[in-house]
Structure 1
Amino acid sequence: MMSSMSLSRMLRAASVCRTMSTATKLTTVEVNDKTGIATVTLSRPPINALNVELLHDLYQSIKEIENNKSRGLILTSSNDKVFSAGLDINEMYRPDKDRARLLWTKLQDVWLALYGCALPTAAAINGHAPAGGCLLATSCEYRVILPQCRIGLNEIQLGLVPPIFCMFNFLNVLPRRVAERALVQGRIFTTEQALQIGLVDAVASSKEKAMEKCSQFIATFGQTNPLARSLTKLKFRGADLQRFESERTKELESFLEFIDHPQMQEDLGIYLEGLKKKNRN
């Protein structure tokens, strides 16, 4: 649920929009006045690593958009290379136990909010999306990715059993056999591979084009009764949401046990030291 990429150049959003909230610092929420579609932008340099604060802001942003009855939600990144690199390693290395518990609880909250969102949701994946980045993207109903990106759930390569919500996401967008193989191998897919297997719905040449495709998808529901649409969506996803709630505590305890294991802590320490050496060079 992590990455070694270090990037800093940021994109500027280009649309006619208004800011819905100024309190959130690690995500921005803007609503296009012409379409009524809200865009949530992940903005935690350099790679949108998911820490407690970013997950908290993202959850609040999703709920804010639902409460303001926008026509749909698009999730994207202010980084032009990374959508999100997944959970922040620093949150898991020698962690404070209470903060580690909060981290996983916040991740669960975000998944519930995004996967169970009443609005049409789309992801404009304008950069790499390993692990937690892929989780966010596949929680949405529609995904557009840029060329030369990589996406996938590689938790098993770190010795971590993928959480149940990772499995729900993959089974919701991929054939069962493909989903199972991808998860047990910890596969990371190229843009072309992701499109071929159906992990993403479309490829766009730029972030702007990806945003357009996402807006077009949401616009297809323009003549659909919003309540009927959302209830139908929740019927499809309801069994997943109910099962998750029944296993939520177990999943949390499994994560805490995993990161508390001495071998895992040793591996994380080696990984972080390797990152420091790379940055120095």
Structure 2
Amino acid sequence: MNTLKLIKKEGYTIVQMNRGKVNAINHEMVQELRQVFSEIEKDDKVKGVILSGQPHYFSAGLDLIELVQYNEQQIHDFFSAFGVLYLELVRFTKPFISAITGHSPAGGCVLAVASDNRYMATGGNYVIGLNEVAVNIQISQNLTEGYAFWMGEGLANRYILEGKLLSGVEAKAAGLVDALLPLDEVLEHSENKMRHYLKADPEIWINTKKKLRRHWLDKLDPDPENSLKEAATLWWKPEIRAKMMAYVASFSNKKKK
């Protein structure tokens, strides 16, 4: 694995995103996440997963610096794979906890929304949220359903249209995260919750999760090709492309300073 670090524990695995300090998501990371979660789903010895990041960053979202260099086929393949990854994470049957070790905007939030619990670090002005509108990326219908599942349709609608990034306090108040903890306690807390889940009969736990998510699962489009095609098409819209390039240039300039 080039973008992930796997830490095996008794009964569960910690999947730590490990792609630079900000864990920006590219096609390789998406494919590796799909592979790991698929293998864990099929492995009877692994009862659950904790997804974590680096200190100060769970994931900064999509790697726009890399993505703007993709050609049309590569962009189509990326959005398709990312959309399928999200569906696979939402449908993942075993306990799945996100240890949000810092910032988690856009794509980082996409991963976290699919989990059963989200524990977020305090301090550092960390933010989380689906701010796709603000960064000129088309959000999918499937993703809006996930946001609404945790926060309710009213808040989800308003925050998505605003492209709002939430502070930890705002995210907890909205129901997007379960608890706020010091950075060095986030993973430990997540592991304690995982060990609690693993005390239950696994078949009963999995059946119960499926029942709790039934209405969410029923709303998912099993073939999200149309919305993904829409996102890929809008990616090449000249005015959006110009804004994206300007954003990437400004970001790159900040890194040089």
2:89 counterpart of 1:114: yes
The residue identity in structure 1 corresponding to 2:201 is N
In 2, Cα distance between equivalents of 1:279 and 1:132: 20
User: Of 114, 123, 133, which residue of structure 2 is paired with 1:156?
Assistant: 133
Match of 2:145 in 1: 168
Q: Please list, as runs of the form range in 1=range in 2, the aligned pairs for 1:261-276 lying within 5 A after superposition.
A: 261-276=237-252
The answer to whether the 8 A contact 1:29-1:40 is kept is yes
Change (3 A) 1:92 1:259: farther
Which residue pairs with 1:57 in the alignment?
Answer: 32
Q: 1:38 aligns with which of 5, 10, 13?
A: 13
Change in 2 beyond 3 A, CA 1:176/1:242 = closer
Q: How far 1:191 moved relative to its partner?
A: 1.2
Instruction: Tell me what 1:278 maps to.
Output: 254
* Gap regions ≥5 residues in structure 1: 1-23
Tell me if structure 2 keeps the 8 A contact 1:37–1:215.
no
> 2: distance between equivalents of 1:214 and 1:88?
27
Secondary structure, aligned partner of 2:14 = strand
TM-score, normalised relative to structure 1: 0.84
- The aligned counterpart of 1:19 is none
* CA distance in 2 between partners of 1:28 and 1:91 (Å): 21
Q: Percent identity?
A: 24
Contact 1:173 1:199 in 2 (8 A): yes
TM-score (norm 2): 0.91
> Which 5+ residue runs of structure 2 have no aligned equivalent?
none
Measured after TM superposition, the shift of residue 243 of structure 1 is: 4.1
User: The residue matched to 2:57 in structure 1 has which SS?
Assistant: coil
Cα distance in 2 for partners of 1:108, 1:162 equals 10
Contact 1:94 1:265 in 2 (8 A): no
Aligned-partner Cα distance in 2 for 1:243–1:167: 10
Alignment partner of 2:7: what SS?
Answer: strand
- Structure with the bigger RCO (C-alpha within 8 Å, sep 6+) is 2
Which amino acid in the other structure matches residue 173 of structure 2?
Q
Aligned to 2:203: 227
What's the CA shift for 1:223? 4.1
Number of residue pairs matched?
A: 254
Counterparts of 2:138 and 2:91 in 1: how far apart (Å)? 23
Aligned-pair distance for 1:244?
Answer: 3.2
Q: CA deviation at 1:150?
A: 0.7
Corresponding residue for 2:22?
47
Q: In structure 2, how many angstroms separate the alpha carbons of the residues matched to 1:226 and 1:62?
A: 17
What RMSD in Å do the two structures reach over aligned CA positions? Answer: 1.8
Letter matched to residue 168 of structure 2: T
Out of 165, 170, 180, the residue aligned to residue 157 of structure 2 is 180
* Corresponding letter in the other structure for 1:67: K
1:102 to 77, 90, 95: 77
